[in-house]
Structure 1
């Protein structure tokens, strides 16, 4: 079985850990490249490279299970302290930048780090050029009807206003060929969870990615966030999250929306969510997906083991359905 997971940041990290637990034949992480903050932002401005932060996190999530792999995972994520030129930089970001200069391109750098970390999969960018996100945001003025443009991933993720729509700059960029191939050749494709406007929807603003999603024979599963995020989706219902996918990619079709069963407890809310999912040609599947602490209290994080089990159950059902046909 071949799994391809689309996203970025902490959401993609959790999905990749879940994918590893499923023990597939291969895993490919397709990663957003619009980060403009912190270490990634500094490196993309100074060295004219695609921002490495989300790529680094995916590499860390896929690092090997032995002592050597765990060492590399910790090293990639390590950040320098202090107040000097290296302060705030993650080691993995610097390695990607350095290997890119030595080897000539970012993909060679990512593949070399995957080799060093004994990776369980391959990490590829969704696009081979750095991108910017610009959002149309309401609520930044006294008149709530006024829409203001907000540019930059960090600015969009932390805006106190309400995001109405986002776009990429440059518009309609070319998809990475490796990303397109990984989607088309997969048996299971996941999108989300993660920052909705800065890690999930950007994939759907690249025509080649949407075309690959619609043409693949893979089972396609959107993993919904456990809650709205402060900033870009504050106040959003689960139903609105799905509407945002349809709004930004009207032609997109997926098979399932995977939702934590405790997030939407009432039948009325579930029926609204199912109606919204119908716009994507999908049905909604409810499963217990939350992580619990040692005292049994639910946390606002996906449990990789539960997520893995839910994804594998959907994949088995799809496979059995095809066999019976």
Structure 2
């Protein structure tokens, strides 16, 4: 029997968490990963070598890899000293090296996928250097993914430069053949929407007959989604690429312990309110479940529960 094709779109920690769970199910996975990061090791390599930032791609490769834990640890190892090496992770350097050898970032990712025995395909949203910009509610502008949440102002929209980056042909084929397209979880304006701003990607998603679901964040993100409800998250996506894109939204219904919500509140984060009536007016099916995993004072999505819920939609 042919396996179902699942395409997951995003970046950051949320995407890696989901993929660790999803790879344990009998589905064909394609991860489309944002390449707008400009902070830390990724930002330095991007600036110095003029390549797409490797950080989010590295995390996704590790999440989908089937290798010894020590190899995974080695790939994620970050140098704490050494002139020029300090702050770089070995995986980022390997991706930069493979890009140099093959002459192409996407090809470098492909070759490293083989080395790491990756279950599925990992594809950068664009195969070139792109810069994320934001227009803020007061009419001012911010350049660079890492600077956007630091502005402290409401985000009106984000946009890419160049505005029409070319996706890989493989990405478009994966979307055309998908049975399920998943957006998120992850930072709304800096991890999810940048992928959809690649014009051909959003065009193919709109035409696709796949079931399209958005995994809503559990908490708001300071500087990015302050005060946002679940419907506000969806509306922000629609404001960028047009309405009627999603069939369903997956939301957490599990109670957040007081100690956690208190700790998050100190950082300016609040639980995302699920405004069901508004979502239903948008013709989006609301699927709720207990989806939390408590990780060392942090709230995370439970990778297996989340994956199980998604696979049950197929």
* TM-score using structure 1 length: 0.85
Residue 2 of structure 1 corresponds to: 5
Residue 266 of structure 2 corresponds to: none
Residue 321 of structure 1 corresponds to: none
Deviations 1:105-143, CA, capped at 9 Å, x for gaps: 1122111111111111111111111111111224xxxxx
Instruction: Tell me the distance in 2 between the aligned counterparts of 1:277 and 1:192.
Output: 20
Residue 28 of structure 1 corresponds to: 30
Deviations 1:155-196, CA, capped at 9 Å, x for gaps: 013332221211111113222222111111122211101011
Q: 1:40 to 1:262 in 2, by over 3 A?
A: same
Question: Larger relative CO (CA 8 A, sep 6+): 1 or 2?
Answer: 2
Residue 61 of structure 1 corresponds to: 63
Instruction: Tell me the distance in 2 between the aligned counterparts of 1:299 and 1:239.
Output: 24
CA RMSD in angstroms, aligned pairs only: 2.0
Q: Is the 8 A contact 1:134 1:150 kept in 2?
A: yes
2:235 paired with 1:243: yes
2:176 paired with 1:162: no
Residue 202 of structure 1 corresponds to: 194
Instruction: Tell me the distance in 1 between the aligned counterparts of 2:244 and 2:59.
Output: 27
Instruction: Tell me the distance in 2 between the aligned counterparts of 1:165 and 1:246.
Output: 11
Instruction: Tell me the distance in 2 between the aligned counterparts of 1:274 and 1:284.
Output: 10
Residue 262 of structure 2 corresponds to: none
Structure 1 SS opposite 2:225: coil
Structure 2 SS opposite 1:314: coil
Q: Is the 8 A contact 1:213 1:252 kept in 2?
A: no
1:32-47 alignment to 2 at 5 Å? 32-47=34-49
Instruction: Tell me the distance in 2 between the aligned counterparts of 1:189 and 1:39.
Output: 30
Deviations 1:28-76, CA, capped at 9 Å, x for gaps: 1100011111111111111111111111011010010x52xx3332222
Q: 1:132 to 1:284 in 2, by over 3 A?
A: same
Q: How far did residue 299 of structure 1 move?
A: 5.0
2:290 paired with 1:288: yes
Instruction: Tell me the distance in 2 between the aligned counterparts of 1:198 and 1:117.
Output: 27
2:135 paired with 1:136: yes
Instruction: Tell me the distance in 2 between the aligned counterparts of 1:252 and 1:153.
Output: 27
Q: How far did residue 11 of structure 1 move?
A: 1.2
Instruction: Tell me the distance in 2 between the aligned counterparts of 1:210 and 1:147.
Output: 26
1:84-233 alignment to 2 at 5 Å? 84-138=83-137, 146-233=138-225
Residue 226 of structure 2 corresponds to: 234
Q: How far did residue 276 of structure 1 move?
A: 3.5
Q: Which runs of 5+ in 2 are unaligned?
A: 257-272
Q: 1:217 to 1:98 in 2, by over 3 A?
A: same
Residue 80 of structure 2 corresponds to: 81
Q: How far did residue 263 of structure 1 move?
A: 6.9
1:269-308 alignment to 2 at 5 Å? 270=274, 272-276=275-279, 278-279=281-282, 281-292=283-294, 299-308=298-307
Q: Is the 8 A contact 1:36 1:44 kept in 2?
A: yes
2:21 paired with 1:18: yes
* TM-score using structure 2 length: 0.88
Moved over 6 A (4+): none
Instruction: Tell me the distance in 1 between the aligned counterparts of 2:298 and 2:305.
Output: 13
Q: Is the 8 A contact 1:136 1:150 kept in 2?
A: yes
